[in-house]
Structure 1
Amino acid sequence: MGIGKQAKRVLIASAGAVLLVVGVLLLVLPGPGLLLVLAGLLLLASEFPALERYVDPVRDRAMKAAEDSVSSPLRIAGSVLAGLALLAAGIVWGTVRSLPFSGWSTGSSLILSSAILFALLIWSYRRVKARRAEPAARRD
């Protein structure tokens, strides 16, 4: 195996491991934990085929969680408020120097989390909307 191929394998395995660990942390913290666990598993399974058996169950649960997050206007409103709170917290942590861990490194990570939350919310909403439109299209 060439050095370039080994480097690529190490890079993919490292990225997959980081996504998996962050996803597991986000299962108990606010954030898209299952989707990151899924992304990490997909990367790791591309290099380690023995992990493929874990992909489908995690994918099913992640998609169910994504659909549940937009299943009612109340849940959508809660997710939007959480995203806005993360955005505001990021701005506050970036500008107020008296807070613990203040600075733009913390602030930008909170703002990035907000952007990811909004992107996943939009993706989930579109996915559910398209899935609900399928039965109507079949009846026509």
Structure 2
Amino acid sequence: MSLGRPVKQAIAAVVGGVLVIVGVVLLVLPGPGLLLVLAGLIVLASQFPALERFVDPVRDRAMQAAEQSVAGPLRIAGSVLAGLALIAAGVVWGVVRSLPFSGWSTGTSLILSGLILFTLLIWSYRRVHARRTAMPEE
């Protein structure tokens, strides 16, 4: 009996679940929350095909949200602060043993989430900037 499939499903469930949870949190905080939800859904749908029906509607809305997330300097600054807060929280959770669920497994998840937020923020900015430069001036 091969443990490959159950292990892949478990990893996809954890990674996809973390991305979806952080994305949902970022729906109310500054940051590209829907892009993280989309990334989580894509990871989950790779192992759980029943979730594929949610990917396209979320993708459409996430692309709109990506453009809005870099619409102004205040939104960009808020997203950067949220990413820095996630990374700082990850370090704190990795170092301080008295916190609930303390340790580097939780800390690494938070740090990775912050890095993913920065990656998505940069991607969103470049996508919007490329679209604006491609559009002819009126």
TM-score when normalising by structure 1: 0.69
Q: CA deviation at 1:129?
A: 0.2
1:135 corresponding residue in structure 2: 135
Higher RCO, 1 or 2 (CA under 8 Å, sep at least 6)?
2
Instruction: Answer yes or no: is the 8 Å Cα contact 2:21–2:37 preserved in 1.
Output: no
Q: Tell me whether 58-67 or 34-43 shows the greater mean CA deviation.
A: 34-43
RMSD (CA atoms): 3.4
Amino acid at match of 1:119: T
Q: CA deviation at 1:42?
A: 8.6
Distance in structure 2 (CA, Å) of the matches to 1:43 and 1:87: 24
Distance in structure 2 (CA, Å) of the matches to 1:90 and 1:37: 20
Q: CA deviation at 1:59?
A: 1.9
TM-score when normalising by structure 2: 0.70
Distance in structure 2 (CA, Å) of the matches to 1:105 and 1:97: 12
Q: Residues 22-65 of structure 1: CA distance to partner in whole angstroms, max 9, x if unpaired?
A: 555445323755334434359748x969x56x544322201011
How many aligned positions are there?
129
2:76 corresponding residue in structure 1: 76
Instruction: Answer yes or no: is the 8 Å Cα contact 1:70–1:124 preserved in 2.
Output: yes
Amino acid at match of 1:110: L
| 1:122 to 1:98, Cα distance in 2 relative to 1, 3 A | same
| 1:55 to 1:91, Cα distance in 2 relative to 1, 3 A | closer
Contiguous gaps of at least 5 residues in structure 2: none
Structure 1 stretches of at least 4 aligned residues deviating more than 6 Å after TM superposition? none
Contiguous gaps of at least 5 residues in structure 1: 1-6
Amino acid at match of 1:29: V
| 1:43 to 1:135, Cα distance in 2 relative to 1, 3 A | same
Identity %: 66
Distance in structure 2 (CA, Å) of the matches to 1:37 and 1:110: 15
Instruction: Answer yes or no: is the 8 Å Cα contact 1:23–1:32 preserved in 2.
Output: no
Amino acid at match of 1:28: V
Structure number with greater Rg is: 1
